[in-house]
Structure 1
Amino acid sequence: MSQPGGTPHRRILAARPALVLGMAMAAALPALALTPVEAPQQLLLPVQGGQAKSPAPPSGGGGGSAPRPPQPPAPAFALSAADAARTPPLQPDRPVQVTLRRGQQAFFRVAPEAGEAWSVVTRRLGRNTDTVLAALDEAGAVVTEDDDGGSENLASRIEVQPGDGVRVVRAGTLDSSPGRFELVLTREQPMPPPDFATTQAEAAQRPPLALGQPVRVRLRRSQQAFFALPEDRTDVIALTRDLSQSTDTVLALLDAEGRVLAENDDGGQGLASILSIAGTTGPVTLRASLISGGTGSFEVMLEREAPAPTPDYPTNLEEARARGPLAPGQNVHIALGRGRQAIFALPEGQPLTIATRNLQDEADTVLALLDAQGEMITEDDDGGGGLASRIRTADGGRPAAFVRATLLNGARGEFDLVVQGSAAPAQGGAPAADLEEARRRPSLILGEAVRVQLSAGQEAYFALPHDGRESLAMTFALGRDTDTEIALLDESGEVLAENDDAEGFASRLNIPASPRPAFLRAKLLSGAGAFNLVLVRPAP
């Protein structure tokens, strides 16, 4: 008998899927009993890439092998010359980013597309990065190397020409520090064969340099240029000029056996050179080279200077003795020719301060104290302010018999030599020689420098002020080869702190506010010498 909606049997069959679904959901409810916070995290997981955990068998049957995982990219550079063959070579005009950890270096081959003449530079240096480039031959020996020859500050540049035999480029940093930079290779034009002599023997077969006619010289790594000189050398100088970037020239005069008679590095403008050839006779050769044997281009030229005035001052010890000693208040005008010197005798037992003034044409003076045999005791270059010099006869540590005035690099120029008297040290003006004596002396005055003169093995002691504030003790204006050491001592003489070389040979020591009483000891590491000692407030 039929019922509305179908037979009972059919109704039961129709409801079965819903019943099964309801039972399945009821069974799953405990597993889905999640907290409101947990539910989104577990139900909205992102789909992960990669292979399925149960991959379907490959089509076509046969159970083929699974696909290989992707291979990591090859490194941009090698960390040793031996590994450079397994890394991409440097390509022209394709920069490579390099990041080095402490102690690491990067090694590169050069692609054949670069040709036989090319250059490599570093650029876009990271903070505090100072690069060093080198080109290595097949045996790993350095063919050329550069630190700061690049166009950017602390950047490097090397250039290679046909026949240099370079196989690998090495890029690193100064002191093997960490660093980041960009490396780029650029094609260069091959250099033509040199049109100057590259040996002294070859120069002897060529015409001599002509006055006023510059010769352009472009030197490769470790190359030198040689020139014969004209017979008339009166007041003639050789000079370099129009230097290419980072080029630092050296001029030298050689005798017939190749021995150096005279040499000059930076006597010209900047890194250029000037060398007097006046007074030389016979077969003398001029040699032009570069500092550290690098690469660069410049002009070499001979010029005739105006004759130097005849000296109206002593030029040697004998003339100085015959002329008599300098006197306080004396002012001597000196015009020095190239390579010349002026020497004056000093009064015995009378302290003097001698300085240079009124320097003309960028003259850079040097004053030196000499003993009775002409041996130098001490010297000063720029102690008079700017390029002027200033020296005291009491600064040498032993009696001075002469003072010598010269110009840096044997240049020519004019200046005044000014002589002033120095007050003789008052009785008891010498510093305390031990701790007990320092206890009886006044303490150091903040900001007032004390000139200290010590003989070999001597020590000086100073009481420190008790004002409840920190201070800073330092030495400065050291005499030649003077190396100071200062130490903080407690009341019993125990060393609390000491310093040797804070800046050059000078010393600097922080003095805490306590303990007090406390003392400062100053001494020299070797020999005798003079220096200034001062106590100041430290910078905030």
Structure 2
Amino acid sequence: MKHKIIILLFSLILWSGTAAAQEESTRLTYGDFLRDTIVEGGLHVWEFEAQAGDVVFINLQSDEFDPLLEVFFEGNLIYSDDDSGYMSDAYLETEPLEEGVYQIFVKSAFASDGGEYYLTLAGMQPIIGGDEIILNTPTVAILSEQNLDTWTLTLEATTSIYAAVRSPAQDLLLRVFDQNGELVAEDDDSGGDLNPLLESLELSAGEYQVVVEPAISVDASGASYVIEFLTTANGQTIIPNTLARGVLVSVGDSAVWELTIEENQEISILARSEFFDTILTIIDPNGVVIATDDDSGTGFRSAYLELKIVDAGTYQIVVSSFGENVGLYELRVLDETES
């Protein structure tokens, strides 16, 4: 593999633990996924250190208040977001950063609110000119001086693909070519905000060339973007205190995650999506359905379960859709066992 990814955004991200007191430790590192509670009208300040060129992703979630996310550098506000995430969650993708220490301000959009929140920090050095596409792994890139990047996608079996490119500043075009150089699919603006998106792309086994270039005749070299090829991959592993992202590509799809649980362990599981009404089903090691939920989470599209597992073993978490809508979803598993 030609490049080293510092962190895989929204693939399995290990939980750093609950910060009981804000002043004890404010420094975060890429890959941290933490849970904390803020009082009404309160402010939490977290810090992280970036290397020159790092692109950083910050996700601030809460089911109890409308979170507001701000990023400061050298005392200046450089990024702010309120509702770019799921429902009222805050979400940021930065441009390449300068080297230094940055502050993340966590607070409520309304001074009278507070409560529990989840904060995820991820970052990576951008790839220039294209490279190998790793399925289910978002990758940050910089458009090369040639004004065109070529990526390689290798599939060992027929696969349904959800392919997306996001750029904050440029209108980019996404094209997929087979091993004979024939155009298989292309898109310009289906992802919204001038971003290309290919949904339910059925590709057979083989090697493909994926080309990213400006949609119009302009020099966009140096522009940053995120490229992501997701699959409905069953059998992926998730562990307690992690956050993961997946996709249902086609109507009728379901995603099966494997979770190994200890005896008498208490867990909570949340599945939510902006695109479809999630259903959670839990299956024990003997293949018996032990729990299911549709709408117990915040918002009518979120499924939520709290369970105490008596018998240790590997359980299956099945994420599916109620209805005919599909798309991206988030899956969160937390260990709620009292220490």
Q: Does TM, scored on the shorter chain, surpass 0.5?
A: no
Q: What TM-score results when the alignment is normalised by the length of structure 1? A: 0.28
Normalising by the residue count of structure 2, what TM-score does the alignment of the two structures yield? 0.41
Where is the helix percentage greater, Structure 1 or Structure 2? 1
| Structure of higher CA gyration radius | 1
Determine which structure has the larger strand proportion and give its number. 2
Greater relative CO (CA pairs within 8 A, separation 6+): 2
